[in-house]
């Protein structure tokens, strides 16, 4: 018999060019056999990292009417995956979305707002505290080290890190959000990079690491988050899902032509057959 197909809702912007957010989440989640419904938060001509002069259309005013229509139709989601939100107001709207549609769904919040110690362009200093409030509604939170420092109001420190420092961050995030934590951008020496996972009930914690490929590649957080969610919805444990997500992310970087400008993203398309195989689809 054919089993029931799971449905995830991806709540991100559409950056028309630059391979991040919905142009990454849709293909990865679909390739993993999951229906990917979308709630676009904004439309930009490109993403905001290393591009200037981009257009930005905030779709906040469409969100509540969309939710009302879905409610009339009785739509249900197995997962809600939120990423880049275009404005502070959208945090409040996404909280309403989770209240209305999140009860039986796996809620994963990637508090997309910065990298390399800095907030992305367009966000003000109050944004991280709003994101931290949203994270309290999540079952699983997937920040990088910059977003972690911003939400914990701690200084950002460059790697490599000690396991004690990383475990301390995970513990504080878990205490604040009461959620599973998967912390990205973790390195313990100059040759490796990966993620720390820290289960809410502390039964599952550890690291998923790979050899480091030098350079800062755009959109890898969304490649990671989308594959993490895909693996979880395919029944993987937190540990195995974190490992699969690190592997897809590193493979996507490996498949990217060496001379390509990093702001145009990574070649995750070439890594999808590997993900499909790993998920056993
Ligand atoms: O990949 C994260 C992301 C998503 N959406 C937009 C961005 C960024 C990162 O810069 O600018 C619009």
Residue 214 has pLDDT above 90, yes or no: no
For residues 130-145, give the mean pLDDT: 98
Counting from 1 in the atom list of ligand 1, the atom nearest the Cα of 24 is 1
Find, among 188, 167, 183, the residue nearest to 242 by Cα.
183
Ligand 1 near 221 CB (within 6 A): yes
User: How far apart are the CA of 146 and the centre of ligand 1, in A?
Assistant: 14
Per-residue buried b or exposed e for 215-242, using 16+ beta carbons within 10 Å of the residue's own CB = eebbbbbbbbbbbbbbbbbbebebebbb
Q: Is 185 in the pocket of ligand 1 (CB under 6 A)?
A: no
Say whether pLDDT at 67 is over 80: yes
pLDDT over threshold 80, residue 203: no
Mean pLDDT of 243-256: 96
With contact defined as beta carbons under 8 Å apart, do 173 and 152 qualify? yes
Query: Confidence class of residue 86 from pLDDT cuts 50, 70 and 90?
Result: confident
Does residue 49 have its Cβ closer than 6 Å to ligand 1?
yes
With a 6 A CB cut-off, is 184 part of the ligand 1 pocket? no
Rg (CA), the chain: 17
Can you tell me the mean pLDDT for 183-188? 96
Q: 127: Cβ below 6 Å to ligand 1?
A: no
CA distances 56 to 43, 87, 119, Å, are: 6, 11, 17
* pLDDT number for residue 202: 72
Closest ligand 1 atom number to CA of residue 221 = 1
Mean pLDDT of the chain: 96
Rounded Cα distance between 175 and 173, Å, is 5
Confidence of residue 119 (pLDDT cuts 50, 70, 90): very high
CA distances in angstroms from 142 to 32, 50, 113, 188, listed in the order given: 19, 23, 12, 19
Closest ligand 1 atom to residue 42 Cα is 12
Average pLDDT estimate for 88-116: 97
Of the candidates 175, 232, 228, the residue with the CA atom closest to the CA atom of residue 202: 175
Which of 38, 109, 120, 223 is the pocket-test mutation for ligand 1 (most atoms within 8 Å of CB)?
120
- Which ligand 1 atom is at minimum distance from the Cα of 86? 12
Q: Pick from 256, 257, 248: which is nearest to 222 by CA?
A: 248
Looking at residue 66, its pLDDT comes to: 98
> What pTM does this model have?
0.98
For the chain, give the DSSP string: -PPPPPEEEEEEEEEEESS-THHHHHHHHHHTT-EEEEEEEEEEEE-SSS--S--EEE-HHHHHHHHHHHHHHT---SEEEE---SSHHHHHHHHHHHHHH-TTSEEEE----EETTEEPTT--TTHHHHHHHHHTT-SEE--BHHHHHHHHT-----S---HHHHHHHHHHHHHHH-SEEEEEEE-SSTTEEEEEEE-TTSSSEEEEEEE--SS--TTHHHHHHHHHHHHHHTT--HHHHHHHHHHHHHHHHHTS-TTS-GGG---GGGGHHHHHHHHT-
pLDDT at residue 38 tops 90: yes
Ligand 1 atom closest to 122 (CA) = 11
* Tokens found for residue 49: 């990292």
**pLDDT score of 114:** 95
């Amino acid at each position: 018999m054919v089993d029931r197909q799971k449905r995830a809702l991806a709540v991100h912007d559409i950056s028309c060019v630059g391979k991040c957010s919905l142009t990454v989440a849709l293909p990865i989640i679909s390739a993993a056999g999951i229906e990917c419904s979308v709630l676009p938060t904004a439309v930009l001509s490109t993403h905001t990292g290393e591009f200037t002069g981009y257009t930005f259309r905030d779709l906040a005013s469409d969100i509540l009417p969309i939710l009302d229509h879905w409610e009339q139709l009785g739509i249900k989601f197995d997962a809600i995956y939120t990423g880049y939100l275009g404005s502070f107001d959208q945090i409040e709207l996404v909280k309403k979305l989770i209240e209305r549609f999140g009860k039986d769904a796996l809620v994963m919040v990637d508090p997309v707002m910065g990298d390399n110690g800095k907030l992305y362009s367009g966000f003000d200093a109050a944004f991280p505290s709003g994101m931290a409030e949203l994270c309290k509604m999540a079952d699983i939170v997937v920040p990088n080290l910059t977003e972690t420092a911003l939400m914990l109001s701690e200084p950002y420190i460059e790697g490599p890190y000690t396991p004690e420092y990383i475990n301390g961050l995970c513990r504080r995030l878990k205490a604040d959000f009461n959620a599973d934590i998967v912390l990205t951008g973790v390195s313990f020496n100059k040759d490796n990079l990966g993620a720390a996972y820290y289960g809410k009930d502390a039964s599952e914690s550890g690291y998923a690491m790979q050899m480091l490929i030098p350079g800062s590649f755009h959109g890898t957080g969304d490649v990671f988050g989308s594959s993490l969610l895909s693996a979880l919805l395919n029944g993987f444990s937190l540990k195995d899902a974190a490992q699969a997500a690190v592997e897809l992310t590193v493979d996507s970087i490996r498949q990217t032509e060496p001379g390509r400008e990093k702001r145009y993203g990574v070649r995750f398309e070439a890594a999808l057959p590997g993900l499909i195989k790993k998920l056993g689809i």
